[in-house]
Amino acid sequence: LRKTALPHYNISPSPKKRKAKRFWLNSSPNPSASSERPTLPNLSFPHTPPTPAVTMAAEQSAEHFRGQARLPGFAAPRRYDLRLTPDLAACTFAGSVSVSVDVAAPTRFLVVNAADLDVSPGDVHFAPKGSGQVLLPVEVTSALEDEILIIRFNEVLPLGEGTLVIAFQGTLNDKMKGFYRSVYELNGEKKNMAVTQFEPADARRCFPCWDEPSFKAVFKITLEVPCETVALSNMPVVEEKVNGPTKTVYFQESPIMSTYLVAVIVGMFDYVEAFTADGTVAPLPHYLPQVSLSLSPLGGSCWPHFPFAGTSVRVYTQVGKSAQGKFALEVAVKTLILFKEYFAVPYPLPKMDMIAIPDFASGAMENYGLVTYRETALLFDERHSAAANKQRVAVVVAHELAHQWFGNLVTMEWWTHLWLNEGFATWVSYLAADRFFPEWNVWIQFLEESTTGFRLDALAGSHPIEVDVNHVDEIDEIFDAISYRKGAAVIRMLQSYLGAEIFQKSLAAYIKRFAYSNAKTEDLWAALEEGSGEPVKTLMHSWTKQQGYPVVSVKLKDGKLELEQTQFLSSGSEGVGQWVVPITLCCCSYSVQQKFLFRGKQDDFNLSGLVECQKKDDFWIKLNVDQTGFYRVSYDEELASRLRHAVETNILSAADRYGVLDDTYALCMAGKQKLVTLLHLIAAYKNETEYTVLAHAINTSLSIYEMMAVAAPEELVNMKKFLIDFLEPFAQRVGWDAKSGEGHLNALLRGTLLSALAELGHQSTIDEAVRRFNVFLEDRETPLLPPDVRKAAYVALMQTVNKSNKSGYESLLKIYRETDLSQEKVRVLGSLASSPDPDVVREALNFLLSSEVRNQDCIFVLRGVTAAAHEVAWTWLKENWDYIAETFTGHLLTYFITVTVSPLATDEKGDEAEEFFKSRTKASIARTVKQSIERVRIKAKWVMSTKGEADLGNVLKELAHKH
């Protein structure tokens, strides 16, 4: 069927708007397009439509399909037979796809997604089932901006099933999306592997398809690859045929799934393996599976001590790194068993492969049965990985495996409901980590997720959890703290309100009801409402359909609590939102708590026992007990003073101590409370015992210090002394060296404390760090610089580096170049820009754009830029913008903007950023640009507010010299 005389066309992105290209298989001229845009029939059309419907189909034109948010619904895929042949040396691929299509309404067109692919019109045809016919298209149009291929036939297609066949060619790109190449070393030689990353909408860059989550289908995948390579896909291999230097690998047919979950990987790998146990397991609350594993490198497999073989679980790594997959393998086996019980539905695939990819834009991706990860999110080296690395691996693995149910088995209907995937996976990953590692106190650490959600959602440029998506370019930007963190936080709030058992059973019912299909947010609310008898839909609509969240102001008057809710905005403005707020409250004790729904703008509450409690010397009231609600609380002066005392005497729970500080910091930034109030509160944490709370106090303090460098540089000496005096006793207790038998959280705290002291220029910390580093430079196995304190030592070392003395900088580059451990490389990269010398920072920023740094890792250098160098980084971004915008895509590009623009703190810089991006903003970065500039305006306002605090100097002097 191939017409070789016909030209090829390339479906590729273009910076300029281009008209569609058309090709005909006959010599007739282009038929004139109708100026009218008739309404397309949808899937509800009967299989024997009336004549007018056929007439309407005949009037359709290719122009009708342009500029649409979604594909038309008159045809849908049922099964893909996909064959790919990647050329790893040439970085190209060829392929063909045969799609069983259900034509449900009259049409002369088939419309599929395709981008960056070469397709010849002669390689496209459609065969109606049972007709014996092969229909050739008379026109094939590529709408480049819409990333669609419009295939027009001369006649209306028969209703029912048919087969669409398309052959194509493409490039293994270097953008870490679609079908791309990742570079690795094997025996000192650089090699390419072929990798897919299709979420959110990049399967179309590998093969023409209906690239939307609601178009679920079955996939049968075949790969033709070099004999020596390992070929992986979603399902197990059923057959391999060797043909000289190549082999053809046939994979088992998949269950029904969305295109963004399809995965193909070709390269050289080792693996470790274990199996889940089939059969009956103990009840969930008492069950923590223990897995005994052995390791077999170079592709060998190992069996755990289970009575039955169950699901095969493998961790694939670069050759020689398989031992680093052991921890993730143990977590994965436990997690699959846990989620089988929690969701009351078995994991439906016969295998679960997890693989570490050297070049990977995201943290991980939940492809059905073949989950891809950055190396830092999957691998753990017992000698050289830090406790923070271990926790990240555990939480990320649990997150991705949660998606096998929440996302893969039950899939969102459209990207508006992305939070159903990401919010739930984030929340349930903490549930798993808490079950397996209770000593980590992860639910306290979860509050850091909530805080990230709070900060983004306090911007006027935020968006609702359920966000309208009108173009594919808008999707990447909603993989943000609203979909992940706020989504997880409102799930936790709802679970706390309904109760854990009712919530779990209702969730399991939802999974069973929508297994192998698509769901919307309303479907989840209906299941939870049915299972609980509570008005879930009414309660939750205010949290998912409008952006923002409330601050509940609390006053105590005549024995009554006066509550008022307003929308909280970091700018200090008042929004118009109103929520149904599940209030939890305790007074003087956690033994008795009160719960109620606060529905109005204002209300008074008579609380039993409040009058008697108020008479006590240690009287206090805390709303949002243990921070389970996604709202802030503002107390009147008396109640706030009482809470500060409760913090100082350690009466409040760790979660509430965290919440009091977080709310006060946010209110201070918004100009609702004075900075001196916040500083006195920080001082009250001098006896803090919980890692997460103290870490939050440290990060809050450094943020204040950064702001004051602009607002009140003359006060920095006292501010620095206050913070160092606050941190030193903690640092002396934990020291540089781990104590025998100490826990995970102490290891996390040690690195956080020492890094903060180094950033503040604490000389004895810097001297000790340099001493230990010099020993480490000569002996990488020395116990003097264990992984938990290396980043702190690197940051301290960089405090000694300047333009005329760069030996410390060069030493770090030496470590970077010699290590093959990704986590070590990230530690170095995150430290290079922490020098106080702007010239050194500029050199570090230039280094991140060099060939020595993988594109995925540039974000770590940016994150390490010191407060003194924010303007240097902004100038550098402007100078290098054209290259950056061309080289980076998706969230990697938006990260450059967020991290570089947001820290600026004057209106002049806000104006600069606005002017710079005015001509450079496109749909894929528009939201990020707007949010980043808003953050600059908020910081500028905070700076002006701080300058107006007349008593700031005296308070700082008092705090700095308090013994």
Q: How far apart are CA 543 and CA 398, in angstroms?
A: 26
- Decide: 658 and 627 in contact? Cβ < 8 Å: yes
- DSSP lists the bridge partners of residue 566 as 551
Q: Is there a binding annotation on residue 8?
A: no
- In 3-state terms, what secondary structure has residue 780? coil
Give the separation between CA 791 and CA 57, rounded to whole angstroms.
64
Hey, which residues does 567 pair with through a beta bridge? Answer: 550, 575
- Characterize 297-313 residue by residue with b for buried, 16 or more Cβ atoms within 10 angstroms of its Cβ, and e for exposed: beeeebebebeeebbbb
Count H helices and E strands in the chain, helices first. Answer: 28, 32
User: Can you tell me the distance from the alpha carbon of 458 to that of 572, in angstroms, rounded to the nearest whole number?
Assistant: 10
Least Cα distance to 466 among 378, 546, 349, 586 occurs for 546
Q: Rounded to whole angstroms, how far apart are CA atoms 606 and 872? A: 56
Sign of dihedral through CA atoms 608, 611, 615, 618?
positive
State how beta strands 312-317 and 351-357 pair: parallel
Q: 195: part of which helix (H) or strand (E)?
A: strand 189-197
Residue type for position 905:
A
How far is 458 from 616, CA to CA, in rounded Å? 36
Q: What number of other Cβ atoms are within 10 A of residue 468's Cβ?
A: 12
What is the spatial distance between Cα 52 and Cα 412, in angstroms, rounded to a whole number? 34
Q: Quick one: CA torsion of 276, 278, 281, 284, rounded to 10 degrees? A: 50
Catalytic residues: 400
Q: How many CB atoms lie within 10 A of CB 725?
A: 16
Rg of the chain (C-alpha set): 29
Instruction: Let me know how long the chain is.
Output: 963
Residue with tokens 């639910």: 443
Taking CA atoms, 406 is separated from 254, 516, 756, 828, 905, in Å, by 17, 11, 38, 36, 40
> SS3 for 8?
coil
Question: Cβ distance 867 to 716 under 8 Å?
Answer: no
Residue 399 counted as an annotated binding residue:
yes
Within 8 A by CB and 6+ apart from 940, the residues are 905, 906, 907, 909, 910
b/e map 372-397, b = 16+ CB within 10 Å: bbbbbbbbbbeebbbbbbbbbbbbbb
Q: Which of 545, 290, 581, 569 is nearest to 436 (CA)?
A: 290
DSSP-derived secondary structure for 431-463: HHHHHH-GGG-HHHHHHHHHHHHHHHHTSTT--
* Longest pairwise C-alpha distance within the chain: 95
Annotated binding residue at 742? no
* Residue 7 exposure: Cα atoms within 13 Å on the Cβ side: 9
State how far the Cα of 101 lies from the Cα of 107, in Å rounded to an integer.
Answer: 13
> What are the tokens at 794?
């690197």
Q: Are 402 and 388 in contact (CB under 8 A)?
A: no
The tokens describing 476, both together, are 């990447």
Report how far residue 633's alpha carbon sits from residue 622's, in angstroms, rounded to the nearest whole number.
9
Cα 103 from Cα 54, distance rounded (Å): 13
Give the DSSP letter of residue 406: B
Beta bridge partners of 374: 357
Residues of each annotated binding site for Zn(2+):
399, 403, 422
* Numbered residues of the known binding site: 399, 403, 422
